[in-house]
Structure 1
Amino acid sequence: MDPEQTAVTSNALFEALDEGTWHRVHEGGRRMQVSAGTPLFAAGDPCQGLPLVLSGEIRVQMIGASGNEIVLYRIKGGEMCPLSLGCLLTNNSHQSEAVVEQDSEVLVIPAGLTEKLMNDAVCFRRALLESYGQRLQSLMLVIEEVAFRRLDERLAQRLVERQSYGRLSATHQDLAVELGSAREVVSRLLKEFERRGMVELERGLITITDLPALNRIGQVNTDGKTD
């Protein structure tokens, strides 16, 4: 088995495929090297196939009519994009956009081949549906947070989750996209956190100065990584 085949068949979607099916994937799939910052697809684009991320990380997000963005989920090495699967199954265009966050290698399986594999390979179909179900659950949590939790609670939780040893490299716009809010609103909350002694703000950098206080606001657990 060559290195390319090993990289793909090590994924749960392909691990039980026979040699003939693997060759259909290898010959029919389109392998792409995509640099960080590159859009993989945009809202309104026709769905050309099912993207499987072999390495790297891709952010999937939506932009509302107001121009605000919200991150739906991220797909990493060994994962596929479930919303793309939904587009393929319903023959619709993309309703979201995907942006490469880390240099990535992506295998795009054409629509016809995806359908063939779902019909012929039980393990492939099961893995796709399991991934789709897991992402649906995570999207329900996103909806619950946006609809029912205060923004200051969600911001505090995100700061705790993303910090490493008390520091977080992120702009106010980055956090606004994560939370589905406006940059101005997030900036105002961050300045209030700073006024209360919980964070220190610099350009592109947030230093956590009172992790327990942020935890109380966000009501989350953390491993306590601080300076």
Structure 2
Amino acid sequence: MNPTTTETTAGPRVNREKVLNLYPALSGLPADRLAALLPPQALMHLPAGTQVFAEHQPCQGFPLLLEGSIKVIKLATSGRELMLYRVAPGGSCIISSSCLLGHTDYNARGIAETPLTLLALPVAAFTALMVEHPPFRDFVFHLFADRIGELMQLVEEVAFARLDQRLAKLILARNETVLGVTHQQLADELGSVREIVSRLLKGFAEQGLVTLGREQLTVTDRAGLQKLAAV
């Protein structure tokens, strides 16, 4: 993890109870070792839109997200983006862990979707925990298992599912009636282009599934979207 576009600011202190509630794999550590992992300077606050890490950069730490959401995306040579997964509080980024374990650079980039509060475990601390603290090692490998399952589902959808199905699933996954989102943002998440997504959304609107506004989409027939997503 290596914020690249905005300066970070250190918080006054780390809320250890919050960290341990979100990351119980650290709770078995001796108090002095835990304190060494959580100094005030390890806490960072990043505004929305910050590029948390970029392709071809070395990973300088293992992120523990306390607040906010990070989207991890892959940029194609054509300029199109495909969202691989999101990181939420209590989780972490398998691309960061794979880079640290394999001593490689990032092969995707992470963007702060919302303001973030996170801790960055130094490389040496991450390596030591992987070797010496089995609960942390299990946590990291369970992350790999969960994310690989998600990525396999993404590959299956990209390869075999129609784009209208994927768009319906994406709208439903937000679990909101009114979505503050642009057609370009939806296209980026689907790895498509805005013109195609706009055409599909217009079709959804004509079917009465959604209504469209400026940078806004309202779900008017959730059952109909569910039926389309399940086709």
TM-score (norm 1): 0.89
CA contact (8 A) 1:12 1:127 kept: no
1:4 maps to 2:50:
no
Aligned amino acid, residue 4 of structure 1: N
State percent identity of aligned pairs.
Answer: 37
CA contact (8 A) 1:28 1:109 kept: no
Aligned amino acid, residue 186 of structure 1: V
Aligned-pair CA distance for 1:125: 0.8
State the secondary structure of the residue aligned to 1:51: strand
Q: What do residues 100-129 of structure 1 show as CA deviations (whole Å, max 9, x unaligned)?
A: 112111111111111011111111111111
What residue ranges of structure 2 are gaps of 5+ in the alignment?
1-12
Pairing partner for 1:47 from 59, 77, 86: 59
**Number of residue pairs matched?**
218
Q: Please identify runs of 4+ aligned residues in structure 1 that moved more than 4 A.
A: none
State the secondary structure of the residue aligned to 1:102: coil
Query: How far, CA to CA, are the matches of 1:200 and 1:28 in structure 2?
Result: 47
State the secondary structure of the residue aligned to 2:24: coil
CA contact (8 A) 2:14 2:38 kept: no
- Written as runs of structure 1 = structure 2, the 5 A alignment for 1:155-174 is 155-164=167-176, 166-174=177-185
TM-score (norm 2): 0.88
Q: What residue number does 2:118 align with?
A: 106
- Larger strand percent: 1
Aligned amino acid, residue 200 of structure 1: T
Superposition CA RMSD, Å? 1.9
What residue ranges of structure 1 are gaps of 5+ in the alignment?
221-227
Aligned amino acid, residue 9 of structure 1: L
Task: Answer with 2-11 or 195-204: which moved more.
Answer: 2-11
Aligned-pair CA distance for 1:21: 2.2
Aligned-pair CA distance for 1:210: 2.7
Query: How far, CA to CA, are the matches of 1:13 and 1:52 in structure 2?
Result: 12
State the secondary structure of the residue aligned to 1:131: helix
Query: How far, CA to CA, are the matches of 2:38 and 2:222 in structure 1?
Result: 49
State the secondary structure of the residue aligned to 1:13: helix
CA contact (8 A) 2:14 2:43 kept: no
Pairing partner for 2:87 from 59, 75, 88: 75
- Written as runs of structure 1 = structure 2, the 5 A alignment for 1:18-33 is 18-27=30-39, 30-33=42-45
